[in-house]
Amino acid sequence: MSMKFLAVAALGLALAACSTTEDQPATSGSAQAVTTTTAPPPKVVNNTVAVNAPRPGSQEELNATIGDRVQFGFDRYDLSPEARATVGSWADWMKRHQNVALNIEGHADERGTREYNLALGARRANAVKDYMTALGVASGRLQTVSFGKERPAVLGSNEAAWAQNRRGVAVVR
């Protein structure tokens, strides 16, 4: 969220810079305009650099450093070794940022019935939460919610899409 906002702000600065340089030719000579148009870009670059370092403890930092999701097998809710590694990193990250709380979302692919998939999503979200609490994260900082098959991450009725949609997602509250 905040990265998006900053990116927009930076773009706004660039536009403002452009508009002043464009305004100038009308009042001053065109030669001066050419020199001033080259001046603003470094400023914008500086802003962009600042944006690329996400605020510690933010969703953006989690996404950039660990990733916000783990995948599950078909009709499964156990964590694969790969998922365990990711969830373990989330736990470490939570310990570094004691003021952060997470929503753990559980999702299912479309190849199940709605009411079963709601229950399956709850199992997946809870599997993530259980592992994190076992690693020492206070359960009060982790809230689970199941979306069943209601919020696919990837569109498409094929194995690749379904695999990506069977997921647990960490969302910074």
Partner 1 sequence: MNQARSSIFSGGISSAIAILALAAFALLVGTAQQARAELQINVTDGVVEPLPIALAPFVDASGQEDKLGQDIAAVATADLVGSGLFRAIDEKAFIQTPAAAALAPRFPDWRQVNAQGLIVGAVKRQADGRIRVEFRLWDVIGEQQLVGQAFVTERSNWRRVAHLVADAVYTRLTGEDGYFDTRIVYIAESGPASRRVKRLAIMDQDGANHQMLSGGGDLVLTPRFSPSRQEVAYLSYDNGLPRVHILNVDTNQRETVGPLDGMTFAPRFSPDGDQLLFAREQRGNSDIHTMDLRTRKIRKLTNHPAIDTSPSYAPDQSRIVFNSDRGGAQQLYVMDADGGNVQRISFGDGRYATPVWSPRGDLIAFTKIKDGQFSIGVMRPDGSDERILSTSFLEEGPTWAPNGRVLMFYRQTATNRRGQGGTSRLYMVDVTGANLRQAKTPGGASDPAWSPLAP
What residues make contact with partner 1 under the rule CB under 8 A? 75, 77, 103, 110-116, 118-120, 122-123, 125-127, 129-130, 144-148, 150, 152, 155-158, 161
Instruction: Supply the minimum distance, in Å, between the C-beta of residue 154 and partner 1.
Output: 8
HEC secondary structure over 1-62: CHHHHHHHHHHHHHHHHHHHHHHHHHHCCHHHHHHHHHCCHHHHHHHHHHHHCCCCCCHHHH
DSSP state of 158: S
Instruction: Supply the minimum distance, in Å, between the C-beta of residue 1 and partner 1.
Output: 16
By C-alpha distance, which of 51, 77, 134, 143 is closest to 105?
143
Nearest residue (CB) to partner 1, 92 versus 130: 130
Nearest residue (CB) to partner 1, 21 versus 144: 144
Instruction: Supply the minimum distance, in Å, between the C-beta of residue 158 and partner 1.
Output: 8
Nearest residue (CB) to partner 1, 33 versus 147: 147
